[in-house]
């Protein structure tokens, strides 16, 4: 079955879904947030096939989420580093974390938690308006056409 692509879709959610591609992509990106940089480390931690991991890493490099760097010339060995775009993907993973934490475990909750590195205080992810810092309420939002930048000239045949 051919996969439907959304990389040209006008919706940001559709394009992000296209980038994520499958269930392995967010899991691979999660691993880069906790440390492994080398193929063998990732494969061991994730217990994923070499072919699957190779495909995901190639796509993430192609999309500018990761950068491949040689750390040993003979034989050639590489490690992967997150780019600014890859680091920005944390926001997507954080929202997924919060949803899973709130809705996909029983009363006992998950066995892992996000914690502040210095204080050890448990962190609860929230989605807020960047301009105001206020939590977003979907009932107060609507989707509309983005504002056309002033440098773009729009003409009509009226």
pTM summary value = 0.77
pLDDT tens readout for residues 97-115: 898 999 988 888 888 888 9
Output 84 or 36, whichever has higher pLDDT.
84
pLDDT at position 19 over 80 = no
The phi, psi pair for 104, rounded to 5°, reads -115, 10
Whether the predicted pLDDT of 70 surpasses 90: yes
Report residue 1's pLDDT band, with 50, 70 and 90 as the boundaries: low
Contact yes or no for 18/6 (Cβ under 8 A): yes
Give residue for tokens 């475990």: 105
In a 10 Å sphere around its CB, with 0-12 CB exposed, 13-18 middle and 19+ buried, how is residue 66 labelled? buried
Confidence of residue 36 (pLDDT cuts 50, 70, 90): confident
Q: What is the mean pLDDT of residues 134-158?
A: 75
Q: What percent of the chain has pLDDT over 70?
A: 91
The per-residue pLDDT for 83 is 96
């Amino acid at each position: 079955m051919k996969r439907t692509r959304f990389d040209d879709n006008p919706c940001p959610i559709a394009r992000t879904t296209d980038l994520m591609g499958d269930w392995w992509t967010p899991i691979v990106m999660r691993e880069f947030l906790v440390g492994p940089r080398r193929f063998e480390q990732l494969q061991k931690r994730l217990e994923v096939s070499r072919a699957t991991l190779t495909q995901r890493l190639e796509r993430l490099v192609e999309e500018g989420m990761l950068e491949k760097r040689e750390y040993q010339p003979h034989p050639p060995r590489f490690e992967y580093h997150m780019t600014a775009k890859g680091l920005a993907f944390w926001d997507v993973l954080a929202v997924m974390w919060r949803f899973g934490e709130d809705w996909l475990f029983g009363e006992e909750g998950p066995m892992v938690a996000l914690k502040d590195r210095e204080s050890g205080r448990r962190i609860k992810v929230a989605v807020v308006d960047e301009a105001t810092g206020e939590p977003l309420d979907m009932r107060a939002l609507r989707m509309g056409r983005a504002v056309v930048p002033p440098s773009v000239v729009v003409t009509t045949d009226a």
